[in-house]
Chain A
């Protein structure tokens, strides 16, 4: 068993604004087997995602494992509202990298 990066196990890892006050992350897997393998490790949880971004777990507003889509979905509160002073990513679509680089103990 070796650690692998989430990006090498998932088909899609993406981030996007969900309204002006949230950024939502989707992780989609090619098939049920891969999805269940990653889900089963517990490497992708509110705690690990919060740690990857250096935020408190309370800033994770929701976490879903979606069997029908072979997907995991995490949403966080934006540090500042979309388009307000200091915001650097209007669509929140370039916030996926720390998630993509989370290590998952899967063969």
Chain B
């Protein structure tokens, strides 16, 4: 097998890369440009709402550079998890930007879009057939939860992307895809060992986060029959055994075993070897196919509407009395608005705002930042309850009060801010698929 070089411009499309790093990377003769555009990491909002994670301005600017580079070199450009969560509306939005780029740049090419939306009825049939198991959500997926789910996608493997390459696509905008599949698809399509290609994908998918100094920037991987060689695009960075090994641990639980659609990768026999000053050679990944081909479902449901108030507290007597005040204003708000259910949360920054019950330190605070958060069935009610609580706290009388003119320092007018709909994850489960491609339809367009 001839060596195949994959260029990954950045860790998340829209988060930037260096122009010189891209130019230098392209000079190294990559066979494909492949980049990830999302994940569940930013939370459930982007899946639930369909809003894009990154602005159209940034996506269009970076896609323009990548598609121009790809067309000049005659190589495909692959984007996975388009729009952030990879839902249909986000694929459409990204595809519209690609059409505008083709028009404005006078480029002609074949665009493929791959959808990853799972019809609720399809998932319900799988529930009924016992073909869905929990991944990490902690509860089984039910028909009721699926009825509440407003957006449901599955992570595709490399197979649908390989099919689009086989269909002659020059630019592929894929819905939700395993991060590594986006990078691994082209080499596998050209006959590379899937174990090595997927392992390379796991490292490349974050761009130059596996280099030092790390950054959202260009990273290249060159795959042959024995392993792969990693190198950052920018000469200001290097890949080191330490930077690559460290990245192998990043944001995943098991460093030795990684499950993906239809397979499990065993990394326990991996070896990293420094080559020169800037390159690292990796070998040793092994792949086992799983008996069933399962895809990971990701679903989001509407949890209500949120309003917040932000305030500072500087008075030591208020800070000492804070827990009692918070409990009391919460109780009064719940009673005032009953029977409408309210979710009331206080984030007390300076004390335990970040870690909540996991915070072990108990030192007294000089000043605290308070975020009052109310979630309700509609925005008007959330706003009303948030203002009721912030107002009650502002003028709350407690034993030992010294300053009677107000307990909260508001930085903003209005004090209460409406944040709109709130989503939460509803599905994070594995579903058996009939084939690797059945859930991921491809559409072609000659631009």
| List of 7 A-B pairs having minimum Cβ-Cβ separation, nearest first | A83-B43, A69-B245, A21-B136, A75-B253, A16-B251, A86-B345, A53-B358
Assess the B270–A68 pair: CB atoms within 8 A. Answer: yes
Assess the B246–A95 pair: CB atoms within 8 A. Answer: no
Query: Provided the pairs A68-B270, A84-B303, A85-B303 are in contact, do residues A17 and B255 lie with their beta carbons within 8 angstroms?
Result: no
Residues of A within 8 A of B347 (CB): 88
Assess the A84–B249 pair: CB atoms within 8 A. Answer: no
Assess the B253–A18 pair: CB atoms within 8 A. Answer: yes
Residues 133-155 of B, flagged 1 when their CB comes within 8 A of A and 0 if not, give 00111100000000000000000
Q: Is B290 an interface residue (CB 8 A)?
A: no
Residues of B within 8 A of A18 (CB): 251-253
Residue of B nearest to A83 (CB): B43
Q: Is B17 an interface residue (CB 8 A)?
A: no
Q: Which of A20, A61, A79 has the most CB of B within 10 A?
A: A20
Residues 59-73 of A, flagged 1 when their CB comes within 8 A of B and 0 if not, give 001101010111101
Beyond A20-B40, A66-B255, A85-B343: 5 further Cβ-contacts under 8 Å? A20-B137, A26-B249, A77-B138, A84-B424, A88-B356
Q: How far apart sit A55 and B356, CA to CA, in the bound complex (Å)?
A: 12
Query: Provided the pairs A20-B425, A66-B249 are in contact, do residues A90 and B43 lie with their beta carbons within 8 angstroms?
Result: yes
Residues 90-101 of A, flagged 1 when their CB comes within 8 A of B and 0 if not, give 110011001000
Q: Which of B233-261 contact A (CB under 8 A)?
A: 242, 245-246, 248-256
Assess the B354–A94 pair: CB atoms within 8 A. Answer: yes
Assess the B354–A26 pair: CB atoms within 8 A. Answer: no
Assess the A83–B44 pair: CB atoms within 8 A. Answer: yes
Q: Is A57 an interface residue (CB 8 A)?
A: no
Residues of B within 8 A of A24 (CB): 249, 251-253
Residues of A within 8 A of B422 (CB): 85
Q: Is A12 an interface residue (CB 8 A)?
A: yes
Residues of B within 8 A of A98 (CB): 355, 358-360
